[in-house]
Amino acid sequence: MAAPLSNIRVLDMSRILAGPWAGQLLGDYGADVVKVERPGVGDDTRQWGPPWLDKEGASESAYFLSTNRNKRSITVNIANARGQKVVRDLVNGADVLLENYKAGTLQRYGLGQDELRRINPRLVYCSISAFGQSGSRASDPGYDAMIQASAGLMSITGPAGEDTGGPQKVGVAIADIMAGMYAATAILAALNAREHSGEGQTIDVPLYDSQVAWLANQAMNYLVDGVAPGRLGTAHPNLVPYQAFSTLDGDLMLAVGNDRQFGACVRCLGQPSLAVDARFARNSDRIANRDELVALLQSAFKTRTTTHWLAELNAVGVPAGPINDLEQVFTNTHAQERSLVRHLTNSVGLDVPTVSNPVDFSATPVSYERAPPLLGEHTEEVLREWLGYSGRLIAELREAAAI
């Protein structure tokens, strides 16, 4: 059976991470995603290495490879009038345009949402930017780390209290990735709405607003009690015990989610009386007496190995897991059983490992058709296929530095 979005054409004019992440998801679901890149340079992340994947002079950065599978690459110079005409021609046959330039940039080239939706009223035009398309900060630039900082995430990430480690950013560019996820779901919603209205629409996805939106319980904690939450290290603001503990030979992550699990946990640790202790019997009690309880549990965990405690806790249904590095993540049995790594071959014969999309459809499987493309490798193919351009016209556009 065909992939879920096999009838959808996406013009991906984005670069770096947030937009390309959304485009990759749409490609995974079967859309024909055409990545529009700057001639000779391409997406900035093509240069974001090491590490590199190399073969016979072809070199691709791991960063670029992480977010650009299931796409075709064409090069178009949008500063060139004939290049702008190429984009407008492509838009005429597209369902979605995805971009993450600074607000107002594409308008300067006659490629803004008003101009392009006049050409194709059914177009879904999705813009991702640092602070959105309106407001006093609309023209401000922004990268993931500054968004994590300014939109609140770093204030709740890192060691607790006055630890000299201070605030920390998350180890991946999560503000970008989540904005890309919001963009992908918004695009799907807009495509569904188009089925009823016959009209496309514009979508505005700011990194800042997205970051604030997924602060989830931490944001609501503040809105309910007016107290800005602080850093708790690995601990949870609303559940105790829910944090990392040191063992005799390492560490584990304990995630007790209710009073039953707490009782099972302390029985494993040989301290069943803690389950009926008035200081700890209910989750609210445990939050009030967090430091005292954590000290008691930590003393117990230090007496045996990580392997011992994980076996004991898992046997009684208490969520707990090892703190794995990425080598352990990708080489363990679960990774093999779930095929968490796929291998694709690109156009120069290079084997490209890629992390699987986590979604498993029962009838319309995720697509793993294309390795991340070499810069501009599909320019002629797409211009012929989408637009019916002749070889002569394509040669003229190359001569004019439009593509």
> Which residue in the block uniquely carries the two structure tokens 């599978």?
69
In angstroms, the CA 121 to CA 201 distance is 8
In angstroms, the CA 112 to CA 127 distance is 10
Query: Is 176 an active-site residue?
Result: yes
Contact by Cβ (8 Å): 76, 39: yes
User: How many Cβ atoms sit within 10 Å of the Cβ of residue 165?
Assistant: 11
Q: Phi and psi for 26 in degrees, rounded to 5?
A: -65, -40
In angstroms, the CA 370 to CA 281 distance is 54
Annotated active-site residue in 32, 43, 176, 204: 176
In angstroms, the CA 398 to CA 393 distance is 9
Within 198-258, residue ranges assigned H as helices are 207-213, 216-225
- Where are the extended beta strands (E) located within 162-297? 202-206, 242-246, 251-255
The 3-class secondary structure across 343-388, one letter per residue, is EEECCCCCEEEEECCCCCCCCCCCCCCCCCCCCCCCHHHHHHHHHC
71, 159, 107, 17: which is closest to 347 by C-alpha?
A: 71
32-37 and 71-75: which strand pairing? parallel
To the nearest 10°, the Cα dihedral for 42, 46, 48, 50?
A: -150
Q: Which residues are marked as active site?
A: 176
